[in-house]
Amino acid sequence: MGGAVAQEETRPGQKMRRWDFERIDSILESRRARFFWHRNHFGLRNPTEEREKVCGIAGFTHEKRVPDPDRIREATATLIHRGPDQQGVFESRYVSLGAARLKIIDLAGGDQPITAANGDAVIVFNGEIYNHKELRGELERRGHRFHSHSDTETVLHAFLEWDTDCFSRLRGMFGVALWTESARRLVLARDRMGIKPVYIARQGEDIYFGSELKAILIHPEIGRQLSVAGLDCYLSMNYVPCPWTLVDGIEKLPPGNWLEWRDGKIRSEAYWTLPFATPREVTLESAKQELDGLLAQAVSEHLLSDVPLGVWLSGGMDSSTVLHYAARATSARLKTLSISFRGRTFDETSYIREVAAQYGTDHEEFDLNPLEDLPSTIEEFAYYSDEPTADAGALPLWFLSKMTKTKVTVALSGDGGDELFGGYLTYRANHLARAVRRLPRAATRAGLAATRFWPVSDDKISLEYMAKRFLEGSLLPPERAHVHWNGTFSDAFKKEMVTAPLPGALDGILGELRAKLGRGDDVSPYLWFDQKYYLPDDILMKVDRMSMAHAVEARPPLLDHRVVEFMASMPASFKIRGSRLKFLLKELMKDKLPASVLRRKKIGLDIPTHEWLRGPLRTLLLDAVGEASKHANLFRPRAIETCLRNHLERRANLGYHLWGLMILFLWMRKWKIQTEQISAASWKPAGSVLASH
């Protein structure tokens, strides 16, 4: 079996095999020519090139067919960068499961898949459960016996005890698959906030799943048609919101949901719903005290690790808050890691070093500048970010993760703070736009026209760019304006660029926001929307892919669901008060963090996109957007060329628009995404996996 170690497990009436291999190369070595065909055809990398490249899961059902005997190993091989320490597969007559593991907890045990003592239930798991010891104690009192210290085994026993009710007992981040042989039942689940991904697809009566799209695209029977619903959202929002992806027929399992496949039938249910609560009456002091306790507990739990751990530090409120509570929870000297942009107006080094000095951390920095091989790095995104995002913050995050891997294996981040506490300028823009909309529309249009005479700046986010986007958004309905502030292409711009009619997928999710506007305050609906879509489908997806590409586990303690629920119950004035963003958090931290951090404006981990696309990334940009001519049935190359020319000739700052197109076309080329059928009258998008029963 190509060097694999096989162990036979038998029960009456069936035979199962559980494969476990140190490196997946040993299996592939005996089939080298065939694997290279797959690598070239599907854009896969040779796992032997990724030895240093955190956990990932893959699998599929095959109730009425016999699959290719190598398919589950090949699917698992696509995720080896996520789990370089151990890989394993489980096969039975009805299902194949695979796991690639980065060892964080229980280094000596916990190899996956894990099978129950009676051989009837199997688990593959991606993530961390921070209360697994507490759950294990309860399960042991109920008679369960454990053979490792792994949180994965705890989840398996929790499922055996409480079935799908177990997921609401878990505190952590996870994507999990559980198979019960006697019931021919597969259950998939995803954590509450969508920190860890689970992708799903259906072909006939079978279901396919994976931590990344590539684990599904390895199957030749899965089509590679571009999703027009996903494209509609991507062009406007810079990301693809759940449940869509950019591949027709492949979807995301929503956060806080589980899905059951049984004998070809599918049903799904939410075990947790993102709260949109009526604010409770509370004093500022009591709110500060309660938040202090929640943050202390959440950060302390996230420090659980058997490998070196650090904190990603930006010098902003959120990461500095995480560092404060981490330092309070441990006597050990903490490692902090940061990205700098020395000599640039958006460099945060002074704030970073001030915070690092206050807590006495062992600090590391990486300076990101055009002397780095930026084009080659961005081309790698097409492989690791096999669901593209137009968020240019992925580039510094790549280099941060790369540096992190040389120092630690686990990093705590401040992700989620802006969405929970009210930290984005777009929330202020939503409020200010209400006043502008009371002006005659002609006056707003005249102001917008005047911005065209402003000099085009190379600043990361210049005043002229912000003014133009704000006035454009003020002419839109509030829910549409909210995504326009951080988005790119307007509806009119999309019509100029895309030939096929787009399905209005964006209108559907904006309807959810529209329904909440006018119900109480004018802050909470926008925070709720960003927590549901922008956070998991842009921010957390970007962090997952860039960190996993380097076998680093990124943990966001601010997204502990108890903190999320608490902040949802707070009055709007505790989030944004006048011009003060993150009011409650800043009040809590004002005697703890340096005053400069409390006063500073938000900058964000991003690059000078407008400038770099005119400079060091110009050649890559021209090469990538040239792909549009290969998809002229869907895109209008001349419209894209006009956009490109206007930017390069400094008639307008369209860097964010062009970054999104560049990433899109690089991804389409890498994964051989097809668009030919979209213009055919007979073509219909694939039905929803979650709507199938």
* Exposure of 288 in the CB half-sphere (CA atoms within 13 A): 14
Does residue 28 register a pLDDT over 70? Answer: no
Range with the poorest average pLDDT among 392-396, 440-444, 448-452, 541-545: 448-452
pLDDT score of 35? 25
Residues 171, 294 share a domain: no
Residues 288, 145 share a domain: no
In a domain, 605, yes or no: no
Instruction: Provide the H-helix boundaries in 649-690.
Output: 655-670
pLDDT score of 677? 82
Does residue 46 register a pLDDT over 60? Answer: no
pTM: 0.90
In a domain, 654, yes or no: no
Range with the poorest average pLDDT among 36-45, 108-117, 562-571: 36-45
Q: What is the dihedral of CA 511, 517, 518, 521, to 10 degrees?
A: 170
Residues 189, 295 share a domain: no
**Helix pair 374-384, 618-625: axis angle to 10 deg:** 40
329-359 pLDDT tens trace: 999 999 999 999 998 988 899 999 999 999 9
In a domain, 76, yes or no: yes
In a domain, 416, yes or no: yes
Both tokens assigned to 520: 């109480």
Which helix H or strand E contains 188, and what residues bound it?
A: strand 185-190
Both tokens assigned to 301: 């739990």
In a domain, 319, yes or no: yes
Does residue 628 register a pLDDT over 80? Answer: yes
Q: How confident is the model at residue 464 (pLDDT cuts 50, 70, 90)?
A: confident
| Last-in-domain residue among 553, 570, 599 | 599
Q: What is the DSSP string of 562-587?
A: HHHHHHHTS-GGGTEETTEESHHHHH
Residues 191, 64 share a domain: yes
Residues 214, 311 share a domain: no
In a domain, 89, yes or no: yes
Report d(CA 377, CA 550) in Å as an integer: 13
> Does residue 243 have a cis bond before it (omega within 30 degrees)?
yes
- Can you tell me the mean pLDDT for 565-580? 96
In a domain, 446, yes or no: no
Residue 545: give its domain's CATH number.
3.40.50.620
How many domains is the chain partitioned into structurally?
2
Residues 545, 406 share a domain: yes
pLDDT score of 451? 83
Residues 537, 418 share a domain: yes
Strand partners, 498: 635
Residue 121: give its domain's CATH number.
3.60.20.10
- Give 403's contacts (C-beta < 8 A, 6+ positions apart): 337, 364, 366
Residues 301, 209 share a domain: no
Residues 540, 396 share a domain: yes
Residues 300, 194 share a domain: no
pLDDT score of 53? 27
| Last-in-domain residue among 177, 195, 222 | 222
Q: What is the DSSP string of 114-155?
A: EE-TTSSEEEEEEEEETTHHHHHHHHHHTT---SS--HHHHH
68-108 pLDDT tens trace: 989 999 999 999 888 777 889 999 999 999 999 776 555 55
Report for 46-50, 101-105, 372-376, 682-686: range of highest mean pLDDT: 372-376
In a domain, 644, yes or no: no
Range of the domain at 96: 5-222
- Give 49's contacts (C-beta < 8 A, 6+ positions apart): none
| Last-in-domain residue among 599, 625, 649 | 599
Report d(CA 321, CA 421) in Å as an integer: 12
pLDDT over 90, % of the chain: 75
Residues 193, 94 share a domain: yes
Q: What angle do CA 437, 489, 677 make, to 5 degrees?
A: 135
Both tokens assigned to 73: 């190993």
Residues 415, 318 share a domain: yes
